């Protein structure tokens, strides 16, 4: 069935949304105001899913995508939109989440443009095989079909080179790739991490069991690449599920961490520790955190979900005391190490879940929250209600859980001063959100 449809807006998830005789129709790779012929692929009870059959009236912001596998590969969502327009779309989709999931009508500020290409400092590529051809790439959207990506435009150039050498190596040495359907074979993922400033690279190959010939891969790499690789690790992951790295590493050589430098501070980042994805956007975000927290000499600040301690360590020279809380041992150990190498002795890190460790605090001036995608636990909201910080900065990579949590924070007596956006993930629908919340006088709701 093919219908005529006008796209009204883009929703979180990157899909265009139009109305067909009262039915919501979602169309990937469309843009607002476009008039389309849409082929209906699936009819659900409350909505339909379609695909573009023909563009009748194109958006003036539609451009030709750079990547030949765009729309096949699930890595990017917005390559068909001019970069400046991507930023507008992201602002609109955050507004939409705030309104629909948080009942919050507050316009976020426009995100600043950052380098839109070759920015990712971490990639996790899938390995597969089709008719004796080895494939290394990303999954097609909503499937486990691997789309080979020879030159990925959001990967750093050096990651593409390493990936292409790896493909050649696997092919020449006839190494066994894991077959998800038949559950045979071994090698599953290629993971690369990189310090933008230091250029240090960690190379990780993931398989169900150790591949003794894997170390020979390093030998085939050219000198300029070898020099940058500070650690080569094999990760053993026999789990059938999607999780990519387990705790079980075998060191082939070098370290299991790399260094990054940001705003004159140095950070050790271990293979399993979190670090933000886009260097320039992270720099903008951290600078803004320092301004928005309004640092004062006597402040005690909590840096919740601290990771390797980035926000706390950079902020430490502006305030009296920082306490970072982190639940993962690897990131916690990095944070302790980073405190020492940067000589920040007014920062302390605690290992544990925020929802539990917060029991130990009664009064704190300011709190930074930067949870994972699932957002914050209800217990954390209750703790914030008890501790009553004057300022809360909530940073999130998920506008949906951000909107849900913000609604709860407003209910315990806070008001929004600003909501700002940082384009941590150009070419995708993802966006980093920063909200500043102020405690109302007496915390009384209007």
Residues with a catalytic annotation lie at: 397
Determine if 26 is a binding residue for ligand SAM (CB under 6 A). no
Least spacing, CB of residue 309 vs ligand SAM, in Å: 8
What distance in Å separates the CA atoms of residue 166 and residue 220, rounded to the nearest whole number? 9
Least spacing, CB of residue 7 vs ligand SAM, in Å: 32
Is-contact 280 113, C-beta < 8 A?
Answer: no
Judging by beta carbons within 10 Å of its beta carbon (0-12, 13-18, 19+), is residue 33 exposed, middle or buried?
Answer: middle
Please give the residues from 350 up to 379 whose contact with ligand SAM meets the rule CB under 6 A: 353-355, 370-372
Half-sphere exposure of 385 (CA within 13 A, CB side): 15
Q: Is 353 or 390 the residue whose CB approaches ligand SAM more closely?
A: 353
Instruction: Point out which span in 91-99, 211-219, 252-260, 308-316 binds ligand SAM (CB under 6 A).
Output: 308-316
Least spacing, CB of residue 15 vs ligand SAM, in Å: 25
What distance in Å separates the CA atoms of residue 329 and residue 290, rounded to the nearest whole number? 26
Instruction: Point out which span in 195-203, 230-238, 240-248, 348-356 binds ligand SAM (CB under 6 A).
Output: 348-356
- The three-class DSSP label of residue 214 is coil
Whole-angstrom distance between the N-terminal and C-terminal Cα of the chain? 51
Q: Is 214 or 397 the residue whose CB approaches ligand SAM more closely?
A: 397
Which residue's entry shows tokens 């102020």? 438
Please give the residues from 250 up to 279 whose contact with ligand SAM meets the rule CB under 6 A: 274-276
Q: Is 101 or 331 the residue whose CB approaches ligand SAM more closely?
A: 331
Q: Which residue is nearest to ligand SAM (CB)?
A: 307
Choosing from 164, 327, 385, 418, the residue that interacts with ligand SAM (CB under 6 A) is 327
Contacts with 128 (C-beta within 8 Å, 6 or more apart), sequence order: 134, 135, 136, 146, 177, 179, 180
Window 177-196: contact mask with ligand SAM (x via CB under 6 A) = --------------------
Determine if 6 is a binding residue for ligand SAM (CB under 6 A). no
Choosing from 32, 307, 389, 435, the residue that interacts with ligand SAM (CB under 6 A) is 307
Q: Is 315 or 419 the residue whose CB approaches ligand SAM more closely?
A: 315
Determine if 334 is a binding residue for ligand SAM (CB under 6 A). no
32 closest CA partner among 109, 68, 100, 86: 86
Please write down the long-range contacts of 88-91, taking CB distance under 8 Å and 24 or more positions apart.
89/10, 89/31, 89/32, 89/429, 90/421, 90/423, 90/429, 90/431, 91/421
- The three-class DSSP label of residue 210 is coil
Determine if 306 is a binding residue for ligand SAM (CB under 6 A). yes
Q: Which two tokens stand for residue 405?
A: 């949590």
Q: Is 136 or 285 the residue whose CB approaches ligand SAM more closely?
A: 285
What distance in Å separates the CA atoms of residue 79 and residue 67, rounded to the nearest whole number? 8
Q: Is 16 or 309 the residue whose CB approaches ligand SAM more closely?
A: 309
Least spacing, CB of residue 307 vs ligand SAM, in Å: 3
Instruction: Point out which span in 91-99, 230-238, 327-335, 400-408 binds ligand SAM (CB under 6 A).
Output: 327-335
Please give the residues from 274 up to 303 whose contact with ligand SAM meets the rule CB under 6 A: 274-276
Q: Is 303 or 365 the residue whose CB approaches ligand SAM more closely?
A: 303
What distance in Å separates the CA atoms of residue 14 and residue 76, rounded to the nearest whole number? 10
Determine if 328 is a binding residue for ligand SAM (CB under 6 A). yes
Written in H, E and C, the secondary structure of 215-279 is CHHHHHCCHHHHCCEEEEEEEECCCCCCCCCCCCEEEEEECCEEEEEECCEEEEEECCCCCCCEH
* Chain residues that interact with ligand SAM, rule: CB under 6 A: 274-276, 305-308, 310-311, 325-328, 331, 353-355, 370-372
């Amino acid at each position: 069935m093919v219908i005529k449809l006008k796209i009204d807006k883009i929703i979180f998830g990157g899909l265009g949304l139009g109305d067909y005789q009262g039915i919501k129709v979602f169309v990937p790779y469309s843009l607002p105001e476009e008039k389309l012929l849409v082929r209906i692929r699936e009819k659900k009870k409350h909505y339909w899913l379609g695909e573009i059959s023909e563009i009748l009236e194109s958006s003036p912001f539609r451009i030709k995508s750079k990547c030949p596998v765009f729309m096949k590969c699930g890595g990017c969502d917005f390559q068909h939109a001019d970069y400046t327009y991507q930023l507008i779309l992201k602002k609109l989709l955050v507004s939409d989440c705030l309104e629909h999931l948080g009942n919050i009508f507050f316009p976020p500020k426009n995100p600043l443009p950052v380098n839109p290409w070759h920015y990712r400092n971490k990639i996790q590529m899938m390995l597969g095989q089709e008719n004796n051809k080895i494939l290394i790439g990303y999954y097609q959207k909503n499937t486990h079909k691997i789309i080979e990506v020879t030159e990925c435009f959001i990967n750093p150039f050096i990651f593409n080179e390493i990936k292409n050498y790896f493909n050649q190596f696997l092919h020449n040495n006839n190494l066994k790739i894991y077959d998800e359907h038949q559950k045979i074979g071994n090698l599953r993922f290629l993971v690369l991490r990189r310090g933008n400033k230091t250029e240090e690279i960690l190379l990780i190959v993931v398989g169900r069991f150790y591949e003794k010939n894997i170390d020979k891969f390093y030998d085939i790499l050219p000198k300029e690449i070898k020099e940058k690789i500070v650690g080569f690790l094999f990760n053993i992951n026999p789990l059938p599920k999607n999780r990519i790295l387990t705790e079980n590493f075998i060191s082939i050589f070098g370290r299991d961490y790399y260094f990054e430098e940001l705003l004159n501070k140095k950070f050790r980042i271990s293979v399993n520790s979190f670090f933000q994805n886009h260097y320039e956007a992270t720099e903008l975000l951290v600078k803004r955190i320092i301004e928005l927290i309004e640092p004062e000499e006597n402040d005690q600040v909590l840096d919740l979900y601290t990771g390797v301690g980035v926000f706390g360590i950079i902020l430490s020279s502006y305030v009296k005391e920082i306490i970072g809380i982190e639940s993962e041992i690897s990131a916690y150990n990095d944070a302790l190490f980073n405190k020492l190498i940067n000589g920040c002795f007014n920062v302390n890190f605690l290992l544990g879940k925020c929802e539990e460790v917060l029991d130990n605090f009664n009064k704190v001036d300011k709190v930074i929250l930067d949870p994972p995608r699932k957002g914050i636990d209800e217990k954390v909201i209750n703790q914030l209600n008890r501790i009553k910080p004057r300022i809360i900065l909530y940073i999130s990579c998920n506008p949906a859980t951000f909107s849900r949590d913000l609604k709860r924070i407003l209910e315990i007596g806070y008001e929004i001063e600003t909501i700002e956006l940082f384009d941590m993930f150009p070419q995708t629908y993802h966006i980093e959100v920063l909200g500043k919340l102020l405690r109302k006088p007496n915390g009384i709701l209007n």
